[in-house]
Amino acid sequence: MKKYLAEFIGTAMLVICGCGAAAAGAGLVGTSLAFGISLCFIAYLFGGISGAHVNPAVSIGCFLDGSLDAGDLGAYIMSQVFGALAGSGFLKLCLVLADEDRKDLRGTAVAANGFGDETVLGINFFSALLIEVVLTCIFVLIVLRVANDSSLAQFAPLLIGLGLTLVHLVGFNFTGTSVNPARSLSAAIFSGTDALAQVWVFLLGPCAGGALAAIAYKKLFKEA
């Protein structure tokens, strides 16, 4: 039970810090750093308890890699989704309670992902899906490699946090960067109709990317 609670709290922290920065207007660099730094500290806090996945795509990668069993996979994903909902719900409450003039100016969306008119570059759904698959694959491959190399254990939280910062820097203007289905689902639920209509891309893409990362990791680093 302790590891599921760690996943719940850790995912809520990631959403509050990362999506909170985006919702507050931190921009590309600020939001990317917020996600990366928060994951770094989450890994230091909860890595020894649950592995600090805080992301269904990472859990899927670990399951396919053989380091997470099927029972834990389902419980981890449920904990992550509920944690993300708690984090997005907190942000939504803060935005709804803001001054009316500020709400009219900034709105009350909680950093949902998107494509087309919902993003800076206006890419279509196929491009958004491809970007999410590739960026998630890169991130989860970093996680699997770092987490399974004992020589990197001391620096693992920092390296994984930097990995998340990197993919956010790349993907922010394309899709808002998901690479995390729980974060995207919760943000879409609390942001409204347009985000919910597009959220399937940010569920499918990261899950596929996590699976590809596990396959690549096993081929590159496990098979003789």
User: What is the rounded CA–CA span in Å between residue 200 and residue 205?
Assistant: 8
Give the pLDDT score at 193.
75
Is residue 204 within 8 Å of residue 175, measured between CB atoms? no
Give the pLDDT score at 194.
85
Is residue 205 within 8 Å of residue 116, measured between CB atoms? no
Confidence of residue 117 (pLDDT cuts 50, 70, 90): confident
Is residue 206 within 8 Å of residue 179, measured between CB atoms? yes
Least confident residue range of 26-35, 98-107, 110-119, 177-186: 98-107
| Phi, psi for 113 (deg, rounded to 5) | -85, 165
Query: Average pLDDT, stretch 134-148?
Result: 96
Is residue 166 within 8 Å of residue 33, measured between CB atoms? no
Is residue 125 within 8 Å of residue 115, measured between CB atoms? yes
- Give domain limits for the chain: 2-222
Q: Is 150's pLDDT higher than 90?
A: no
Q: Is 164's pLDDT higher than 90?
A: yes
**Which CATH homologous superfamily contains domain 2-222?**
Glycerol uptake facilitator protein. (1.20.1080.10)
Q: What share of the chain is helix, strand, coil (3-state, %, to 5)?
A: 80, 0, 20
Give the pLDDT score at 55.
98
Give the pLDDT score at 104.
53
Q: Return the ∠ at Cα 33 (arms to 29 and 37), rounded to 5°.
A: 175
Query: Average pLDDT, stretch 147-174?
Result: 94
